Amino acid sequence: MLSRFRADAGMSSDGMDALDDNALIAALVGRSHPAGRLPGRIESTTVRRMVEAVRANGEAAGGYRPGAVTDADVHLLTVSESHPTLKTPSVNPDAWRALTRGRVGTVPVPGSHHDMVHPPYVAEPAGRIAEVVRPHQAAGRPARPAADT
């Protein structure tokens, strides 16, 4: 999991694979402060707690099995690019159809799974989400996909 943060920080894997979590977190923090990727007030202990929370969330998500089918529509953001070093999860609309009686639609957005919420890509997914949600929110209705794909 820390390899994702290492890659996001632009650090090569040379020598990093041999570091334990504490040393790797210290290296990430040390590199991220001067690059402006991490506020100066955030230190290794805070990042360590964040890493522990991300790991716990990943374990919980990996073990979760939905038990109920919902009536909600599902809008899946699909990315146009792959990250050069990190895995991109596949988006399978059919898997979501088993979890809802609503419609399932895909919404293509630029970027990869890992950078679609960062500039310069973030404006597109934010706009697409707003297109879907705002009219229904104002009318008090659930948002519907434009087309069942």
The values of phi and psi at residue 107, to 5°, are -125, 105
Q: What pLDDT does residue 7 have?
A: 63
| Sequence ranges of the domains in the chain | 2-63, 74-139
CB 55 within 8 A of CB 47: no
- Residue 122 · residue 116 · CB < 8 Å: yes
| pTM of the complete model | 0.60
Per-residue confidence band for 45, with pLDDT thresholds at 50, 70 and 90: very high
Is the model's pLDDT at 134 over the cut of 60? Answer: yes
Q: What does pLDDT average to over the chain?
A: 83
Q: Which pLDDT value is given to residue 99?
A: 92
Provide CB contacts within 8 A for 124, sequence distance 6+.
Answer: 109, 110, 111, 116
Q: Is 42 helix (H, G, I), strand (E, B) or coil?
A: coil
